[in-house]
Chains A and B, each alone.
Chain A
Amino acid sequence: MHLSTEAIVCAVLAHGEHGAIVRLLTPADGLRAGYVRGGRSRRLRPVLLAGNVVQAEYRARTEDQLPALTVELVHSRAPLHGEPLPAVAIDWATALAAVALPESQAYPHVHAALDGVLSAVEAAPAARGWAAALVRYELLLLSELGFGLDLSGCIATGTRDDLAFVSPRSGAAVSGGAGAPYAARLLRLPPFLLAGGEAGWGDILDGLALTGHFLARDILADRRGAVLAARERLVERLRRVTA
């Protein structure tokens, strides 16, 4: 097996005294793990940071072997680690990909979305510029893993207009009229997830509550406390920004 591709660093696990097992999200081959000899050396530590883009080369004799991986830095996002919100966002977005995606399955849309979120975090002067992209990334990930929400029409009336809620059980949209009596038990569906465009802080927090519910229930059910703690820290920080 020989694979040469550009990829995003998602997880780095120390292995032995000097090596590391690194999981990268590639555009065409999905999440791929590899052993980086000297991965904890002074030279490679700044390269193997979550969120960085690297040129990766995987080599293995057989497909079921953990490949040897060599990496070269293409783009570093380390300067963002010094800022609280971007650092937590990169931590969560990359950890989610590393934990949720099965290995060696192609998810080109998830790769594009993660790259988009990280680029937005880098480019936007404030969190409002990338928080909506983060919600869309989580929604896409749910969909790609088979737990997509059905936002095509109201599950009760069939109408395509006035969709305002999502059922926390079925993941299907509910119209404002049909859902109003049950509003306290339904999740709010922010308009930007249907129509696109700009999103206010209220909508972004509603979006995070929506995706957070289904991520915790369907994707991270067995490791909820551990991984979702990073997300809770992110949401808490975003709430403080908006307060």
Chain B
Amino acid sequence: MKNACPSGCVAADVLALAGRWALGGFFIYMGLNKAADPVAFLKLVRQYDLFPTPLLLNGVAALLPWFEVFCGALLIAGIAVRGAALVVAALLVPFSLAILGRALDLGSAQGIPLCAVKFDCGCGTGEVNACRKLVENTLWTALALWLAWSRHGRRWCLHPELWGGR
């Protein structure tokens, strides 16, 4: 078979499939949680004080949840996998930096260490421990980058690349 997986790579492909589905499922779950109550998400995004105009703030709060669902669906279906994984990684990095900045501010204001800070980061799961969330995001980012750069993750896909066919 022309495109047969060389010996030893099946396990990596299975791992990539599991990772793709986990990452995609995570993004769909988080996105739908936010989309279910956009006003609550809007208030949480506002707390970061990152967006100087209502249009930017509203745009992020209104569009990001659905964009996350879209990216998650691409990963699960296996469509443009590397591009989707790259976009997901590009989302996770600024998310994590924003969470770190906010957690440091809260920790400073409350006089507690970073890893004792608990707050609703607007991530879609309610109140979280800042350190745990940062570790979790780092692992998701690593997985997304691996999917983006790896040769694996293209089996069992509907359309792994937008150009060039299957």
* A in complex with B: no
Interface, chain B (partner A; CB < 8 A):
none
